[in-house]
Amino acid sequence: MWSDLEPIGRSGQTGGYRRHAWTRTDHDLREWFVGECAARDLEVVEDRAGNQWAWWGDPDTTPGVVIGSHLDSVPDGGAFDGPLGVVSALATVDALRAAGVTPHVPLGVVNFVDEEGARFGVACAGSRIITGVLTADRARSLTDADGVSMAQAWRSAGRDPATMGPDPETLSRVGCFVELHVEQGKALALAPDGSDDLTDPARAVAIGTDIWPHGRWRIDIPGEANHAGTTRLEDRHDAMLGLASVVQSARSYAAGLGCVATVGKVLVEPGGVNAIPSHVTAWLDARGADEDAVRATVAGVSADAAALGAGTTEESWTPTTRFDPSLVSRLSGILPGAPLLGTGAGHDAGILATHGVPSAMLFVRNPTGVSHSPAESARAEDCHAGVDALTAVVTELCNGRTTTPMSDGR
Ligand SMILES: [Zn+2]
């Protein structure tokens, strides 16, 4: 499976993947998924967002256990983020059959569409649409860099955008969801003393506990345009110096409060090499394990920015997403000794968890922690440990007495 996927959507120049939703490349990946499922006698059904679900057993009789992830990528992404979860899910089906295990409750394998939001700007679009978090009207009108709307992209892919929308029927089939994913940091690749260590087999796979609280803020830094050659330094009001200080203060508050903070996008006006910047708009991304610490980081940056005359506007805020505690504790029982790990990255499992679907994640060790880059990696033995862990989990969840009871609010 891995070598079949390897060339699809890979850039010859960078070696990175450009697997964006509703493109020809995405179509090829979706066809690959259908083919792999057909080879296992699993029929694929699509929901009202275009997510693909393959069922072993009938989820309309009793809700099933779902495993899988996504096949799309960020621009110049790595091979593992997403596909590792889909390939591991299919390998789990194979492992169960090889062991003669037939699930007592239905087992589903899912390929979520447009998880990265690389083309239309909204991450986890597939799970957001079926849960209604992203309305069909708004989704249809999102546009890509070429001005193509999601509705037009759907039509080009042979789909009717009028059918897009919330899909409670699909969600009612999901008793619980366990998403296996490559780790996007290096917690599992470090020994307790902080040194690199890939030798501990007990740290090959971790159980996800929660998704960190995170948000985005826009900071508007004022200045005054003037000539870069004729204006004395003491007469300048340079918005770029304000940006430099905002970036430094983000770093120092984050370090002091145990968070991460990033200024990864800026807009400079007027944007001339020979003009003193009259205005800089900067976007701050801040995350951390603790909500109060993230809030305090942003409050500190925003107070420092205000002292420069800059205004801070919150553009989004997502509180901590906790995975289902009873599912997490069941996974801990099935995988004794597996580390428990929170993550700073968003996932479809988080969207489903917020919607009340009992969800959890498994993370496979990433030697360098690098992700969203062609350098993203995982060792073969750790990937196999991931399949073994997922197989153990599914065996227990599908053959235990019942699936995890659904939370209220479904
Ligand atoms: Zn992912």
pLDDT digits (tens, 9 = 90+) for 207-231: 999 999 999 999 999 999 999 999 9
Tokens of 162: 């009028």
**CA-closest candidate to residue 172, choices 58, 281, 308, 295:** 58
Q: How far is the CA of 360 from the centre of ligand 1 (A)?
A: 14
For residue 378, what are the CA distances in angstroms to 79, 213, 218? 10, 26, 35
Q: How far is the CA of 349 from the centre of ligand 1 (A)?
A: 10
Average confidence (pLDDT) over 287-292: 96
| pLDDT of residue 232 exceeding 50 | yes
Q: How far is the CA of 347 from the centre of ligand 1 (A)?
A: 6
Q: How far is the CA of 72 from the centre of ligand 1 (A)?
A: 8
Q: How far is the CA of 372 from the centre of ligand 1 (A)?
A: 9
Q: How far is the CA of 356 from the centre of ligand 1 (A)?
A: 20
Q: How far is the CA of 123 from the centre of ligand 1 (A)?
A: 10
| pLDDT of residue 410 exceeding 80 | no
Q: How far is the CA of 329 from the centre of ligand 1 (A)?
A: 23
Q: How far is the CA of 179 from the centre of ligand 1 (A)?
A: 9
Q: How far is the CA of 82 from the centre of ligand 1 (A)?
A: 4
| pLDDT of residue 46 exceeding 60 | yes
Distance of CA 210 to the CA centre of its chain: 13
* pLDDT tens per residue, range 150-160: 999 999 999 99
Q: How far is the CA of 73 from the centre of ligand 1 (A)?
A: 8
| pLDDT score, position 404 | 43
Is the CB of residue 163 less than 8 Å from the CB of residue 341? no
Rounded-to-integer distance, Cα 55 and Cα 173, Å: 10
Q: How far is the CA of 24 from the centre of ligand 1 (A)?
A: 20
Q: How far is the CA of 258 from the centre of ligand 1 (A)?
A: 24
Q: How far is the CA of 121 from the centre of ligand 1 (A)?
A: 15
| pLDDT score, position 316 | 87
* Percentage with pLDDT > 70 across the chain: 97
| pLDDT score, position 192 | 86
Q: How far is the CA of 115 from the centre of ligand 1 (A)?
A: 7
C-alpha torsion 393→197→258→333, nearest 10: 20
Q: How far is the CA of 268 from the centre of ligand 1 (A)?
A: 31
